[in-house]
């Protein structure tokens, strides 16, 4: 079975804001996402880069995986990569990815920096963001562009600007389902949900949004506010009850299979090989997240 994606919740933290960093470290997020892009003013970009090594080490020492969202323009991006690639940064998030060639060029630069710093090539993974019409057109190729890619997400706000549409469940449904299919084809994790990450005030609504995302096949989500983290963690990991039920289903199926029957019933429903594979995935995810 495919390895379980490790980050149910990836909490954005502006790297120039010490108060937000300390608050973020207190949250149960699976990963802290240090932001060099939208939350950092242009005149603070250099200061932000200078802090990556120190802050990523601090996050690592407190048991947090670290992701860094870099900038898109090449002049900023190259500097961001040089500032971010290091032993305590697990992945870079690439915004506004237009095509597979762009990803391969970025990966080449990352490998050069890793080798220069005595790191194992391949240490730094990539999360790619599809945020415009060109990226949407090239989504399948982007997802499979390079072995460093571990996940892909649709950036709702920027995509809405590019397509001149509203940010609604109707407008975002098709791009997100396309992303799930592209990721599964490429063997990477689809992350995100059908909606805007900016909608954090209504916690009950956000809970329903991420639960729907999990049902659609997504494996984790970006969070811009600490209140979103518990909802994402709960949605993208099975409950203890679901894990227990899956184990019992598998046990019944294996007992029937030993008698030569490759289909059976469990709690009034038919069980065959695809249903068992789904149950095995529930057990694997539950074990990965400590259930």
Tens-digit pLDDT string for the chain (291 aa): 468 899 999 999 999 999 999 999 999 999 999 999 999 999 999 999 999 999 999 999 999 999 999 999 999 999 999 999 999 999 999 999 999 999 999 999 999 999 999 999 999 999 999 999 999 999 999 999 999 999 999 999 999 999 999 999 999 999 999 999 999 999 999 999 999 887 788 899 999 999 999 999 999 999 999 999 999 999 999 999 999 999 999 999 999 999 999 999 999 999 999 999 999 999 999 999 987
Q: What is the pLDDT of residue 1?
A: 45
Q: Are 10 and 59 in contact (CB under 8 A)?
A: no
Same domain flag for 23 and 149: yes
Which of 213, 235, 257 is at the close of a domain?
235
Same domain flag for 196 and 252: no
Could you tell me the CA-to-CA distances from 114 to 7, 29, 33, 117 in Å, in that order?
A: 23, 27, 20, 5
CATH of residue 86's domain is: 3.20.20.60
Distance, in Å, from the CA atom of 242 to the CA atom of 161, rounded to the nearest integer, reads 39
pTM to 2 decimal places: 0.94
Q: How many CB atoms lie within 10 A of CB 87?
A: 16
Q: Which two tokens stand for residue 237?
A: 């990991």
Residue linked to tokens 């989500």: 221
Q: Which two tokens stand for residue 20?
A: 């937000």
Number of domains forming the structure of the chain: 2
Q: What is the pLDDT of residue 111?
A: 98
Same domain flag for 114 and 257: no
Q: What is the pLDDT of residue 2?
A: 63
Same domain flag for 124 and 143: yes
Same domain flag for 251 and 117: no
Same domain flag for 160 and 255: no
Q: Which residues contact 215 (CB under 8 A, 6 or more apart)?
A: none
**Residue range of the domain that includes 279:** 240-288
Q: Are 127 and 94 in contact (CB under 8 A)?
A: yes
Phi, then psi, of 30 in degrees rounded to 5: -70, -30
Same domain flag for 189 and 209: yes
Q: Which residues contact 108 (CB under 8 A, 6 or more apart)?
A: none
């Amino acid at each position: 079975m495919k390895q379980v994606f490790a980050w149910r919740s990836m909490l954005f933290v502006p790297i120039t804001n010490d108060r937000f960093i300390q608050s973020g470290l207190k949250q149960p997020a699976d990963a802290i996402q240090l932001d060099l892009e939208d939350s950092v003013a242009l005149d603070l970009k250099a200061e932000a880069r200078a802090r990556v090594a120190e802050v990523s080490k601090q996050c690592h020492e407190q048991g947090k995986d670290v992701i860094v969202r870099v900038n898109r323009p090449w002049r900023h991006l190259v500097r961001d990569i040089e500032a971010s690639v290091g032993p305590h940064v697990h992945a870079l998030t690439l915004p506004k990815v237009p095509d597979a060639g762009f990803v391969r060029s970025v990966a080449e630069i990352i490998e050069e920096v890793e080798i220069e710093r005595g790191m194992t090539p391949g240490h730094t993974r990539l999360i790619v963001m599809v945020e415009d019409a060109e990226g949407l057109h090239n989504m399948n190729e982007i997802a499979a562009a390079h072995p460093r890619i571990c996940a892909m997400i649709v950036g709702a706000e920027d995509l809405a600007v590019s397509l001149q549409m509203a940010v609604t469940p109707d407008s975002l449904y098709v791009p997100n389902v396309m992303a799930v299919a592209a990721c599964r084809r490429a063997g990477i994790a689809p992350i995100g949900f059908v909606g805007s990450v900016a909608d954090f005030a209504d916690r009950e609504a956000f809970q329903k949004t991420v639960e729907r995302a999990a049902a659609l096949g997504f494996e984790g989500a970006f969070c811009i506010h600490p209140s979103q983290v518990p909802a994402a963690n709960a949605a993208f990991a099975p409950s203890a009850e679901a894990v227990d039920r899956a184990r019992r289903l598998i046990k019944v199926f294996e007992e029937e299979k030993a008698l030569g029957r490759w289909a059976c019933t469990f709690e009034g429903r038919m069980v065959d090989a695809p249903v068992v594979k789904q149950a095995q995935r529930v057990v694997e995810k539950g074990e990965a997240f400590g259930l």
